[in-house]
Chain A
Amino acid sequence: MVRFRAFLSLLTAVPLALAASCGGDADPAEEVVADIPDVPSEGFGLFSTVTLDSVMHVGSFACRDDAMFVAVGAAEKTGIYKMELDSPELGWRQIYDQEALVTALSATLGVALPPGKS
């Protein structure tokens, strides 16, 4: 926390000092940088040893305070997956496969559509 703030200040302070010593103009960003809230800066570690494999496309991603969700295209694994932050050892649990999703969403159209039909 505090170390990250100090780290940022240092990153800004060094170029500023160099600029000043070389006769350059001081960067007006200094005051803004000083307002940056605390962010942990201890580096990263593997949260779960369980991976989601053979993922072809990732991008739709959501998170809550208790879980992360990712929708992926992964051949036969295509669907929406959930990882609970309290149980990382359980890995990614599929909450919707493609067929279930198509069925659920198609029901809102008034007519249930078979996969691949619009």
Chain B
Amino acid sequence: MSNILDLGFSNEDVEVRAMRFFGDELYLLDRISANAEFMVHRGSEEGGLWAQVGANTLETPSDMWVDKDNVYLLVNRADKPGLDCLMLPKTAAPGTAWNACPGFPDVVKDGNEDPYSVFAKFAGDAGDVAAWFEMKGMDEATVALYRRAPDSWPEAGSLPTVKPAAWALDSGVILLGFVGTDAPAVMAGVPLQGGDSGAMRAAATGVLNVSGLPTPKDKFSGVVGICPARGKQFVLFLDYASLNSKLYVYKNL
């Protein structure tokens, strides 16, 4: 099962690859039909008029983030393996070219031995954002974490783990959700501070008390969303079960 949303691939009408709220504004990273270019749209949950933000993205995006000023995209580089970050003001007119994110980490392949990213996601809250990258070419780690600072994106560690299906930042704690029968449901307690990957690995052994969550029955089932809200953590658990799938919501007690 893909982490990215496949919305309506069955008839190729529309795909929503990422969805973010900022207040009442709803932002979608989408494309209309499977062979079209991706776009960012700003609208609302109530309907009404929508507006495109910036130009169509020629590179394939994997995620989008929105803060009080800007929209950020994680996109595949066209010229070499690896991902890059593009940004624009939220109110940018349709057709406006996307700009590179200042200080974004170099996670592209420049040489044969150079580690590079193959997939990435954002997570954060109103004042904090980090990105994890599924990496290739590193000794152990498959997931590398970078947290945005005022003028840079310093590395915040790496995890020798399987790719998470969901993740969130909750007051500085990272929460990772997984699918599959042989992965932990949720891992928590990774402080995204400093760049000590050894510290990251050790902290990641602190597993959140996940009692009460079902045990995944197949490789498609598990935690597909984590929502920190009101001091609690809400977890979306997908019980895939082929054609009879069910999406459950659990909450910390």
Instruction: Enumerate chain A interface residues (CB-CB to B < 8 A).
Output: 4, 7-8, 11-12, 15, 27-30, 32-33, 35-37, 39-48, 51-66, 68-73, 75, 78-80, 82-83, 85, 88, 92, 95-96, 98, 100-102, 104-109, 113, 115-118
Contact = CB atoms under 8 A, between A and B. Distances in A.
A80 B16 contact: yes
B213 interface: yes
A69 B246 contact: no
A80 B203 contact: no
B244 interface: yes
A9 to B, nearest CB: 9
Contacts of A46: 212, 248-251
Nearest to A58: B224
Interface residues on B, range: 35 or more
B210 A55 contact: no
A40 B247 contact: no
B234 A68 contact: yes
A4 B233 CA distance: 14
B6 A73 contact: yes
A59 B14 contact: no
Nearest to A54: B245
A72 B247 contact: yes
Identify whether the interface residues of A are mostly helix, strand, loop, or mixed: mixed
A102 B32 contact: yes
Contacts of A98: 7-8, 13-14
B154 interface: no
Contacts of B246: 51-53, 55
B74 to A, nearest CB: 14
Contact of B10 (A29, A43, A66, A73): A73
A118 B36 contact: yes
Given A12-B205, A39-B173, A58-B238, A106 B244 contact: no
A100 B8 CA distance: 13
Given A32-B191, A32-B193, A59-B224, A104 B205 contact: no
A36 B188 CA distance: 10
B155 to A, nearest CB: 14
A63 B8 CA distance: 21
9 contacts: A39-B170, A39-B233, A40-B233, A44-B212, A47-B249, A47-B251, A54-B243, A60-B16, A98-B8
B69 interface: no
Given A71-B5, A107-B49, 15 more contacts: A32-B194, A45-B251, A57-B2, A58-B247, A59-B2, A60-B5, A60-B17, A62-B21, A62-B26, A69-B26, A80-B45, A85-B234, A105-B39, A105-B41, A116-B33
